Amino acid sequence: MLPGRTTGPVGLAQPRGAAVPTLVIIALVAFVTTLDNNIVAAAVPSIGRELALGLTELQWISLGYILPFAGLLLVAGNLVDRWGQRRTLLLGLLVFGTAALAGGFARDAVTLIAARVVQGCAAAVLVPATLSLLRTNLDVRGRAIGAGIWTAALAVAIAVGPATGGLLSEHLHWSWIFFSNVPFAIAAAALTPAAAVVTGRSAPGRVDVRGMLLVTAAMLLFLMALVGTGEDTPGPAGRFVLAGLGAVSLAGFALVQRRSPNPLLPRALVAERAFLGGVSVQLLWGLGVSGVFFFTPLLHQESLALTPTEAGLPLVLVAVAIVGATPLVAPAVERWGPRYTVLAGLILVSAGLVAIAVINHIPAVPPRIPGLLLIGAGSALTTPLTSFSLEVVAARDAGIASGVLTASRELSSALGVALIGLVLTVRQNAELAGGTPAPHALASGFTAGLITAAIVELLAAVVTFVCFRSRTAELVAD
């Protein structure tokens, strides 16, 4: 199917040569939508100083992008199936690039966070439209290649984003971390007509707007309970109330889904154990890694006294390890199967986090290198998750399935920033109350965050062991 013509799920012929533009678009969209979140990490101190923001407000610069991204993905996946790939891709790229320009020109917190929210909405449309190309334009082998490119691109973006953000904010201005998104959007838009030839199809039923609003409200309330809201952050009782309201919203979402004739999550997906397992493992992996990556440059600048460029540069080693370990993934799957390949990857990620935690009291970068390499190599071994999860999905549900997968990743990023931030802040405040100097208190809080993330990765390994059985392996082999 890759070299010649393909046929999509609605009987539309795919043109010869569509595979290459498809793979390039997959790489571009995966990279830029992930980079747009992680590139902010090393620039956080610079933004905070210029706009006079505290740690809570700085977290919302990241969460302002992630939250609408995760909250709208399920509806966006449905819209891809209704509107077609070309229309949704071009619209998403236009809005994404325009919002990036607005963020670059912003000079106050409200404008900047608003631009981030709009970018998150656009990314929610872009990602499922792009991932659905895996299912409609490529054969089984092509989907495996595309899924590997997708996962590798987002993992590399996670790793190089902070270094790039530090470089731009130190030598130009932090606004360039947003301007840098625009060329990627233009390139992807130029390739879209050649790849996204499915121009539209009818999807049955109506979009479940109530479900979307309830699940987004639940996420927002939970994040407000974890992170706070800045100067007006509620106390423990207020946070408990917010969390309770979040639980009520989540219960309402479940009830609406059960009664709706057109739920956000098709019942066929909910009933598919391999798909749910892949979504859960991806969520847990991202929850552990994303929060640590967000706060690593801050630690390097505030505790190790590194420049913004130097603070983000060590994370490039994660990308190097990912690239180096990726060729080993296919042989590992062939020899051990998907279950034990992903399991080994998650254990390596956990070991890398613990390795950094053990030496985190040392104010130097070299002792951190082995841990960073382990995190990268382990992350590479988790890349089969996407292709395995999509392989069990019917072609008619390609858009919504892609949305669910990416929603889990983005939700994990939001929860990761919130969870690790909460652990870090609690431990840091306890140390400061005991008279510990600020840099050492921050390092101590970060160590607690690393240990928490390592435990989350081990939990993901347990889910992998339970959910990835022989059936998944047989599907991949086919």
pLDDT value for 234: 56
Among 360, 366, 229, which residue's Cα sits nearest to residue 299?
Answer: 360
Please check whether residue 89 is in contact with residue 127, taking contact to mean a CB–CB distance below 8 angstroms. Answer: no
pLDDT value for 463: 86
In the chain, the amino acid numbered 364 is A
Distance CA 165, CA 36 (A): 10
Is the pLDDT at 108 greater than 70, yes or no?
A: yes
pLDDT: which is higher, 48 or 179: 179
pLDDT value for 454: 94
pLDDT value for 346: 94
pLDDT: which is higher, 285 or 2: 285
Is the pLDDT at 31 greater than 50, yes or no?
A: yes
pLDDT: which is higher, 337 or 447: 447
pLDDT digits (tens, 9 = 90+) for 34-73: 787 777 777 777 788 888 777 667 777 877 887 777 777 7
CA distances from 392 to 172, 235, 277, 283, 401 (A): 47, 45, 12, 18, 10
H or E segment at 13?
Answer: strand 13-14
Helix residue ranges per DSSP H, 360-383: 369-381
Helix residue ranges per DSSP H, 303-361: 308-312, 316-325, 329-359
Specify the length of the chain in residues.
Answer: 478
pLDDT: which is higher, 97 or 143: 97
Is the pLDDT at 400 greater than 70, yes or no?
A: no
DSSP percent split of the chain into helix, strand, coil, nearest 5: 80, 0, 15
Is the pLDDT at 435 greater than 80, yes or no?
A: yes
pLDDT digits (tens, 9 = 90+) for 355-398: 999 998 888 889 999 999 999 899 888 877 766 666 666 666 66
Best-predicted range by mean pLDDT (202-206, 339-343, 345-349, 406-410): 345-349
| Confidence bin at 354 (pLDDT 50/70/90) | very high
| Confidence bin at 477 (pLDDT 50/70/90) | very low
Distance CA 424, CA 255 (A): 35
Distance CA 281, CA 287 (A): 10
Mean pLDDT of 107-131: 84
CB atoms within 10 A of CB 298: 21
Among 377, 381, 318, 344, which residue's Cα sits nearest to residue 158?
Answer: 318
Best-predicted range by mean pLDDT (204-218, 219-233, 308-322, 452-466): 452-466
Distance CA 346, CA 369 (A): 18
Torsion of CA 266, 72, 457, 401, to 10 degrees: 30
Question: Looking at 114-118, 307-311, 322-326, 349-353, which range is the least confident one?
Answer: 307-311
Mean pLDDT of 9-15: 40
Distance CA 57, CA 63 (A): 10
CB atoms within 10 A of CB 375: 31
pLDDT value for 228: 59
Distance CA 177, CA 243 (A): 33
Is the pLDDT at 351 greater than 60, yes or no?
A: yes
In the chain, the amino acid numbered 307 is T
| Confidence bin at 233 (pLDDT 50/70/90) | low
Spatial CB neighbours of 324, under 8 Å, sequence gap ≥ 6: 376, 377, 380
Distance CA 339, CA 167 (A): 39
Average pLDDT of every residue of the chain = 77
pLDDT value for 470: 47
pLDDT value for 367: 93
Which structure tokens are listed for 214?
Answer: 């309830």
pLDDT: which is higher, 263 or 174: 174
Estimate to the nearest angstrom the gap between the alpha carbon of 115 and the chain centroid. Answer: 19
